[in-house]
Amino acid sequence: MVQLQFCALAVLGALVAASPAAERRVHVVKSSLAEIPRGWALHGTPPTHHTIKLRIGLPQSRFADLERALFQVSDPAHPNYGSHLSKEEVEALVAPQPESLAHVEEWLASHGFAVDALDRSPARDWITIVVPVHQAESMLNTKYHVYKHTESGMEIVRTQSYSLPEYLHPHVDVIQPTTMFGGGLRAFGITSHVEVVAAVPGNETDTSCATQVTPACLQQLYNTANYTPKATDKNSIGITGYLNQYANHADLKTFYQKYLPAAADSTFTEVVINGGQNLQDPSQSGAEAALDVQYAGALTYPTPNTFWSTGGSPPLAGNPAPGQMNTNEPYLDWLNYVLQQPSLPQTISTSYGDDEQTVPLDYATRVCSEFAQLGARGVTLFFSSGDSGVGPGGQSDKSQCVSNDGNATPKFIPAFPVSCPYVTAVGGTTGKPETAVDFSGGGFSNYFAQPSYQSSAVNAYIAALGATNAGLYNKTGRAYPDVAAQGTGFRIFEGGKESSIGGTSASSPTFAGVISLVNDALIASGKPPLGFLNPWLYSGGYKALNDITSGNNPGCGTAGFSAAQGWDPVTGFGTPDFKKIVAALGLNV
């Protein structure tokens, strides 16, 4: 042990000596914003004792190998299809180079941190420190301010730019919270595009989804009604919860008593992360959490259901006590937790997102790479595509649809994390026969390139589109959504009362529920779960979906995109058909 410590210190010393002292004092901008993101306003100066939890992301040395492995285990034509990686195999691929570790540790030590006491991720690719704002400002050669979100009233502590010594730049991918404001983060269902109204009396026996949505109508519509899960000891489904959205056990029981009596005595497992809470007071329940848990559970019963309650977005009000955190970056909190778990639900649904351009590119890239780790481990990740069509404002208003790079260029506004190419994006439909719902988010990323798995389908749509919307979207960007499901008129119970709600936040847990049943059938047959769905989907799996060919998603003063035969940026390849999907996978259920 003494010899190992001596060697480590020798390496560290050699690396430090290799960097001239003058170079180590010169800070160069690492990340900056051209302007305060729209929706936020400068509000003041944080107290010097206000603490910040800084996460330092070190370069993942073999991420290209991880990505290659992800596509191999997800491609039905590859010999490694279904051979998902273990937690330890993934961690080995994303571990930073020793040189990066040494440089970052030396820098932290120079600011008074004990290297052997640092909070690290299992792969050592993240280091987390808690510092008072004045120390963060010194380390990053910046100035933090309090910014207020004009719509929600949320206050956060951020900076528009931060710097690092130039020699550190190759050894640090990202440090947050710094320039990450968010839009703010919102649920794709609790928006101005969603009506929450009193439930319509009667119609409880309607199994068509034509007038309202219940578990029974979804089971009929998506062909799951006669399937009983068989692998409930191995298969499970997970739901993420943010922004003080709490799933209520009493509401779930009431929902089941009315719509799925056989499940009335079942519930979900709640896991609290980073200050999240388990509030069971009916007055504290949330419509988003109720929707996600009630429908994911009803469609997959008796499959185990986990709800993660993740904190991370408290307001900064008045004079916060020492130690108060303020991040509004719950994705990293959630990812940091789940990636440490030895086993995970095979299917996970998330109904939240930001405008992509409000998320710094370095942060978005790193979060996206974390999703790739989950996919490599065999997890199917679903994200709602958004409830603003191609951008806010509908067909009558294009004032909000401009770039935030200082040039105010007219453009459609894609969403994140749904624009990440390692997740499956779910758009919305309505009625029967199904058509695209007009708020279904869809478009093309300005951050992430179009992945090869979708090039043929997407480019065929773009070619048919011609000059429509020219210049408003990025033809070479990752296109979304990939699939769709019902998104209006979902009956839920919230705070003991029944109501009707919609949004693509309903579509994502619905599609996830169907795929969770597919994973159950696969596992029960001795086969691996689907994992990252998109390569299978675009290579032929789409033939098992119901193609949606009518409707559009207006926004930004335009009619948006239109649904069409095959893939389109409104409903993707369409809605699920459980029996066709399992048949396409060679199963007889």
- Mean pLDDT, residues 560-588 taken together: 97
Q: Name the catalytic one among 91, 137, 292, 520.
A: 292
Q: Tell me whether residue 505 is one of the annotated catalytic residues.
A: yes
Q: Tell me what percent of the residues of the chain surpass a pLDDT of 90.
A: 70
Nearest to 529 by CA among 236, 133, 328: 236
State whether 156 and 206 are in the same domain. no
| pLDDT tier at 188, thresholds 50, 70, 90 | low
* CATH code where residue 529 lies: 3.40.50.200
Domain limits for position 153: 2-60+95-176
Kind of pairing, strands 305-310 and 352-355?
unpaired
388 is a domain residue: yes
- Mean pLDDT, residues 70-83 taken together: 98
State whether 411 and 470 are in the same domain. yes
**Residue 438 is assigned to a ligand binding site:** no
State whether 132 and 191 are in the same domain. no
79 is a domain residue: no
pTM tops 0.85:
yes
pLDDT for position 240: 87
Tell me how far apart the 2 most distant CA atoms of the chain are, in Å: 78
pLDDT at residue 563 greater than cutoff 50 = yes
For residue 480, give the H/E element and its range: strand 477-480
Q: Name the catalytic one among 505, 507, 508, 516.
A: 505
Give the domain-ending residue among 158, 176, 194: 176
Residue 90 token pair: 């993934």
Cis check: omega of the bond before 330, within 30 degrees of 0 = no
Residue 423 token pair: 């997740």
72 is a domain residue: no
**Residue 547 is assigned to a ligand binding site:** yes
- To the nearest 10 degrees (0 to 180), the angle between helices 287-300 and 249-259 is 50
- To the nearest 10 degrees (0 to 180), the angle between helices 63-74 and 87-94 is 140
77 is a domain residue: no
Residue at 54: amino acid letter: L
Contact 425, 481 (CB under 8 A): yes
pLDDT for position 312: 55
State whether 359 and 259 are in the same domain. yes
State whether 260 and 348 are in the same domain. yes
pLDDT at residue 365 greater than cutoff 70 = yes
369 is a domain residue: yes
82 is a domain residue: no
pLDDT in tens, 17-62: 444 455 567 899 999 998 888 888 999 999 878 888 899 999 999 9
Q: What is the DSSP string of 77-140?
A: TSTTTT-PPPHHHHHHHHPPPHHHHHHHHHHHHHTT--GGG-EE-TTS-EEEEEEEHHHHHHHH
Nearest to 390 by CA among 190, 193, 126, 202: 193
pLDDT in tens, 225-265: 999 999 999 999 999 877 666 788 899 999 999 999 999 99
68 is a domain residue: no
State whether 151 and 192 are in the same domain. no
State whether 449 and 522 are in the same domain. yes
Query: Which distant-in-sequence residues (6+ apart) come within 8 Å of 258 by Cβ?
Result: 204, 493, 498
pLDDT at residue 14 greater than cutoff 70 = no
Contact 510, 218 (CB under 8 A): yes
Q: How far is CA 91 from CA 63, 73, 293, in A?
A: 10, 17, 30
State whether 172 and 269 are in the same domain. no
- Of 165 and 242, more confident: 165
Q: Name the catalytic one among 288, 333, 356, 520.
A: 288
496 is a domain residue: yes
Q: What are phi and psi of 114, to 5 degrees?
A: -80, 115
**Residue 568 is assigned to a ligand binding site:** yes
For 203, how many CA atoms within 13 A lie in the half-sphere containing its CB?
15
pLDDT for position 193: 35
pLDDT for position 279: 57
Given phi > 0 = left and psi -120 to 50 = alpha, else beta, which region is 141? left
Cα angle 291-294-298, degrees, rounded to a multiple of 5: 135
Give the domain-ending residue among 123, 153, 176: 176
| pLDDT tier at 12, thresholds 50, 70, 90 | very low
Q: How many domains does the chain have?
A: 2
Q: Tell me whether residue 99 is one of the annotated catalytic residues.
A: no
| pLDDT tier at 273, thresholds 50, 70, 90 | confident
| pLDDT tier at 409, thresholds 50, 70, 90 | very high
pLDDT for position 276: 52
State whether 143 and 259 are in the same domain. no
State whether 370 and 498 are in the same domain. yes
State whether 266 and 296 are in the same domain. yes
**Residue 273 is assigned to a ligand binding site:** no
Residue with tokens 């008074």: 112
Q: Is 521 strand, coil or helix?
A: helix
Give the domain-ending residue among 176, 198, 226: 176
pLDDT for position 404: 87
Residue 65 token pair: 């190998």
State whether 207 and 168 are in the same domain. no
pLDDT in tens, 278-321: 555 555 667 888 899 999 999 999 999 998 887 654 434 333 43
